[in-house]
Amino acid sequence: MNRTLNLPLETNLLLGLDAGGSSTKWGLFRQDGTLLRQGRAEALTGHLFSSSDTDHLQRFLAQLHAELQTPVAAVVAGVSGLQMGALPLLRAALSETFSVPDSRIRVTDDMELAYAAHFLPGEGVLVYAGTGSIAYHRTRAGEVLRAGGHGFLLGDEGGAFWQGQRALKAVLNVQDAGVVPTGPLARELEAVTGSLAWPYLRRWVYEGGRGALATLAPALYRAALLNDPAALDVTRRAGAALATLARTLLSRCPPGTPLTLCGGAANDLIRAEFSAALPEVVTLLPRMPLLGAPRLSPLSHLSPSLEESRA
């Protein structure tokens, strides 16, 4: 847990939450948008369908409240997989836990939070490569334009699941040809899965599902750094796929619209391939999605300008 000691007493702190399926990042912001403290907690998503889900939410918020040990004036939560049916429950739970009026609670999806960390409405295109992939733009009027983000059954090209699936398929193709796979990619994948023997691997894949395959993306990256040909091929295709998403959405935006590629699946090699495929487009460096919280704060004085937030 990352924290700043001797935190000065503040009366108008903003709590920002970037909640996802692997973990939740939180931050405390001052009135001017300065990040005072940040940390990481367990996973939380917007899929609240059962009593066990709501029990988990209550425990999660109670633990976070105990960790913070300071009052807050407003809360902004960007939640992965946010379902509209879960919105009232999340707002009520946040309001009750942190003793904040409902008018000072803002719950939205993780993409709006990430976009706000990089752009004001109408300014740019955000390409996000997490477990899945999406290109995202908010117009000045607040309309959301998107390309991709259709889920692993219909797309998500270039995301962590896609990378893991393609990496594992490359090794399985070698096995199908009657050859024992060797080299960096086979070794890195075996280190994660435990074995490349099909009876074992079949269970690992189909019991773990989408999330298990997504965990193979870092192994693919390590193998690519060791110049494994198959790993480099998947990496190049991932960067190209994300660039295609960007082009699709940029075609619907004003000429000269800049973009940012962010997300845990966008490693340095993929980022280089992405930029090379879009030489005429201004590509800005990524920022931590949590930094979008001050922009979305219900308290207007907590929203820094673009220039201040990039300083």
The per-residue pLDDT for 3 is 44
245's enclosing H/E stretch is helix 229-250
* Placement of tokens 């904040």 in the chain: 100
Please state, in angstroms and rounded to a whole number, the distance separating the CA atoms of residues 75 and 294.
10
pLDDT in tens, 11-38: 689 999 998 767 789 999 988 889 999 9
The per-residue pLDDT for 11 is 65
- CA-nearest of 141, 159, 139 to 149 is 159
pLDDT in tens, 121-148: 999 999 999 888 999 999 999 899 999 9
The per-residue pLDDT for 24 is 87
Please state, in angstroms and rounded to a whole number, the distance separating the CA atoms of residues 276 and 269.
11
Q: Which domains does the chain have, with CATH numbers?
A: 14-117+289-310 (3.30.420.40)
pTM for this model (two decimals): 0.84
The per-residue pLDDT for 189 is 97
- Where b means 16+ CB within 10 Å and e means fewer, 71-105 reads ebbbbbbbbbebeeebeebbbebbbebbebeeebb
Q: List beta partners, residue 35.
A: 29
> Which residues in the chain show pLDDT less than 70?
1-11, 21, 45-52, 300-311
The strand ranges marked E within 153-275 are: 259-262
Sheet-wide strand order for 144-148: 144-148, 133-138, 125-129, 259-262, 283-284
